[in-house]
Amino acid sequence: MSSQNPNARTRILNAAWNLLEKGGSKVRMSDIAKAAGVSRQAVYLHFPSRAELLIETTRHIDEAKAVDDRLAPSRAATNGRERLQLFVEAWAGHIPEIYGVGRALMAMQDNDEEARKAWGDRMQAVRHGCAAAVSALAADGELRSGLTEEKATDLLWTLLSVRNWEQLTLEAGWSQEEYLTALKDLAFRGLTDTAD
C-alpha cells in the first residue's frame, strides 16, 4: 500500500476534480477518498472540511488550466469592443472547466459560510473583469446612453453567470458555440448602441 506517484494531497485534489466533473453532484468525502486510494480520515489530514477541499480544488484547477493565460488576450486588447469580446470568450470558455466544482460549491452556500465566501470571492473577481471591459468601452464612448458603468458591469456580470451557462447549455441543450455567440451578441446589444 505504498503511495502512488503524486503525493496524497494532489491525488485527493485530482480525485475531487474528476468526480465533480462527472457531475454526479452527490460527491461525498468517502467517494473522493476512495477515488484517491486513501482512507476517508486521511482526507481530513489534508483539508479541514469539505468546503475547504472544494475551494482548494478550484485553485488546483486554476493552476492546471492556467486561467491567467486565458485572460491575457483580453487585457491586451486595443479598444473597448475588442476587450469586451475577448473577455466574454475567455470567461465563457472557462466556465465548463470549473462548472463541476462550482456547482458543488454553489450547493453548499446556504449551509456553509466558508463556501459562500469562497464562491462569492471568485464571482467578485469575474465582476472585476466585467468592470474592466465596461470601463474600456466607456473610455471609447461606446457605452450605451442611460447606462452607468456600475449598472453596465452588473448587467454583464449577470449575463455571464454560471447559472445562465448552465441553463442554456445543460437545460436548453445549446452547444458551447451557440452559447458563446448568443452571449457576445447579447452583451453588445445590451451594453452598446450599435451591435457588432
Partner DNA sequence: TCAAGAACTTGACACTGTGTAAAGTTGACA
Partner DNA sequence: TGTCAACTTTACACAGTGTCAAGTTCTTGA
Query: In the bound complex, what is the minimum distance in angstroms from residue 178's beta carbon to DNA?
Result: 35
- Contact between 34 and 71 under an 8 Å Cβ cutoff? The reply is no
Taking CB within 5 to 8 Å according to partner kind, which of DNA, its own copies, none is near residue 60? none
The yes or no reply on residue 4 touching DNA (CB under 7 A) is no
The yes or no reply on residue 22 touching DNA (CB under 7 A) is no
Query: In the bound complex, what is the minimum distance in angstroms from residue 16's beta carbon to DNA?
Result: 11
Element (H, E) at 62: helix 50-65
Written as one letter, the residue type at 5 is: N
For DNA, the closer of residues 111 and 158 by Cβ is: 111
SS3 category, 143: strand
Report the alpha-carbon distance of residue 45 to residue 114 in Å, rounded.
Answer: 19
Q: Which of 2, 5, 145, 194 is the binder for DNA (CB under 7 A)? A: 2
Query: In the bound complex, what is the minimum distance in angstroms from residue 5's beta carbon to DNA?
Result: 12
The yes or no reply on residue 48 touching DNA (CB under 7 A) is yes
- Contact between 12 and 43 under an 8 Å Cβ cutoff? The reply is yes
The yes or no reply on residue 167 touching DNA (CB under 7 A) is no
Stretch near DNA under the rule CB under 7 A, chosen from 1-9, 69-77, 138-146, 154-162: 1-9
Query: In the bound complex, what is the minimum distance in angstroms from residue 151's beta carbon to its own copies?
Result: 7
User: Which one-letter DSSP state was computed for residue 168?
Assistant: I
Q: How many CB atoms lie within 10 A of CB 115?
A: 22
Cβ contacts of 44 within 8 Å, gap of 6 or more: 29
- Contact between 162 and 101 under an 8 Å Cβ cutoff? The reply is no
The yes or no reply on residue 45 touching DNA (CB under 7 A) is yes
Element (H, E) at 183: helix 176-191
Q: Which of 16, 20, 46, 165 is the binder for DNA (CB under 7 A)? A: 46
Query: In the bound complex, what is the minimum distance in angstroms from residue 43's beta carbon to DNA?
Result: 8
Number of residues that bind DNA (CB under 7 A): 23
User: Which one-letter DSSP state was computed for residue 144?
Assistant: P
Give the interface with DNA as residue ranges (CB under 7 A).
1-3, 7-9, 26, 28-30, 37-42, 44-46, 48-51
